């Protein structure tokens, strides 16, 4: 009987969002109603993997996770047979900040994110590297790296790590070039004990908005080559699959449904079939609202189904 129970979510994912492949496809899911509820939403929308916030990301104060709820979440993930669960950090966190008080709050914020992820058996926390503000960008890049280092040092007994996310470069946000992220990794990698706990999440909307083309194939090949030569594909653990409301090089971070934005369906066909990306999980952060402005699970189902169809 237990084995039959585990197979049910898998068959649900197949029927609701198309034939499954070896590559995990998933989406960010709300934890409204409790952490285990996010797993239920993932299953209902056909996810093989998912991303969540483990907290309210728009405020510093955070309520500890009850041990029983954490255990229920871990069991739900196991039962649903999700291949990967990752977390995303609070939008308030800025380890690059030139304000020492805000920077310390940000470092401690990353510590909290890592502690919560570890309790939930989540291996990675996606984190934006922060914004430079009025600082010199090189100084800010180093401060971001050092802030990440400190958060990892304070959680050295934990296994959860940080995925530095590529950004669109909106305002003074860091990480819109592969070189800036590589500089952060190089600084962190000097401490060998931390190397395995830091990697990268590539966001398709962000890199496109930052000026990296994703089609035609020759252009995508060049973007991937630059990433590999600068950062290294071995550090790429997750791809945020998002179309873009704005044009190439706009530096504006506005997500759109797959095939409905400036990146386009043809580019996502190239991405999901590219030989160098075939094992990387794709996780949606696309709009969930329906015509009435309320969350509509059909949007995740449609986007996941489309990605699977493009891959086949």
Phi and psi dihedrals of 186, rounded to 5? -60, -40
CB 115 within 8 A of CB 80: no
More confident: 19 or 169: 169
| pLDDT on residue 16 | 52
| pLDDT on residue 7 | 41
Read out DSSP for 119-162?
HTT--EEEE---B-TTS-HHHHHHHHHHHHHHHHHTTTT---EE
CB 107 within 8 A of CB 162: no
152-194 residue pLDDT tens: 999 999 999 999 999 999 999 999 999 999 999 999 999 999 9
**Checking phi first, is residue 175 left (phi over 0); if not, alpha (psi -120 to 50) or beta?**
left
Instruction: Say whether pLDDT at 2 is over 60.
Output: no
CB 27 within 8 A of CB 47: yes
pTM of the model: 0.93
Q: How far is Cα 122 from Cα 124, in angstroms, rounded to an integer?
A: 6
129-140 residue pLDDT tens: 999 999 999 999
Q: Please choose, from the candidates 131, 95, 101, the residue with its C-alpha nearest in 3D space to the C-alpha of residue 113.
A: 95
84-127 residue pLDDT tens: 999 999 999 999 999 999 999 999 999 999 999 999 999 999 99
Domains of the chain: 2-311 (3.20.20.150)
273-292 residue pLDDT tens: 999 999 999 999 999 988 78
Q: Please choose, from the candidates 60, 62, 64, 63, the residue with its C-alpha nearest in 3D space to the C-alpha of residue 101.
A: 60
How do strand 282-284 and strand 255-256 relate by DSSP bridges?
A: unpaired
Instruction: Say whether pLDDT at 5 is over 70.
Output: no
């Amino acid at each position: 009987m237990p084995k039959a129970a585990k197979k049910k979510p898998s068959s649900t994912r197949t029927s609701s969002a198309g034939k499954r492949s070896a590559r995990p496809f998933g989406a960010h899911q709300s934890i409204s109603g409790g952490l285990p509820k996010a797993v239920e939403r993932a299953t209902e929308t056909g996810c093989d993997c998912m991303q969540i916030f483990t907290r309210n990301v728009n405020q510093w104060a955070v309520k500890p996770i009850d041990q029983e709820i954490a255990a229920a979440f871990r069991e739900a993930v196991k039962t649903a047979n999700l291949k990967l669960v990752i977390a995303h950090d609070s939008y308030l966190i800025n380890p690059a900040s030139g304000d020492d008080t805000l920077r310390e709050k940000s470092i401690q914020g990353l510590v909290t994110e890592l502690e919560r992820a570890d309790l939930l058996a989540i291996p990675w926390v996606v984190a934006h590297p922060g914004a430079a503000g009025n600082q010199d960008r090189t100084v800010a890049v180093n401060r971001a790296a050092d802030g990440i280092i400190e958060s990892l040092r304070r959680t050295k007994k934990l296994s959860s790590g940080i995925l530095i996310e590529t950004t669109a470069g909106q305002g003074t946000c860091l990480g819109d070039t592969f070189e800036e992220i590589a500089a952060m990794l190089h600084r962190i990698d000097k401490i060998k004990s931390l190397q395995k706990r830091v990697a990268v999440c590539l966001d398709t909307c962000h890199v496109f908005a930052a000026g990296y083309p994703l089609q035609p194939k020759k252009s995508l090949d060049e973007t991937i080559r630059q990433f590999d030569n600068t950062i290294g594909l071995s550090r790429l653990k997750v791809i945020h699959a998002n179309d873009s409301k704005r044009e190439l090089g706009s530096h504006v971070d506005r997500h759109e449904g797959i095939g409905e934005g400036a990146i386009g369906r043809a580019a996502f066909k190239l991405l999901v079939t590219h030989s160098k990306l075939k094992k990387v999980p794709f996780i949606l952060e696309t709009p969930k609202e329906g015509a009435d402005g309320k969350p509509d699970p059909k949007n995740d189902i449609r986007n996941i189904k489309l990605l699977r169809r493009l891959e086949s």
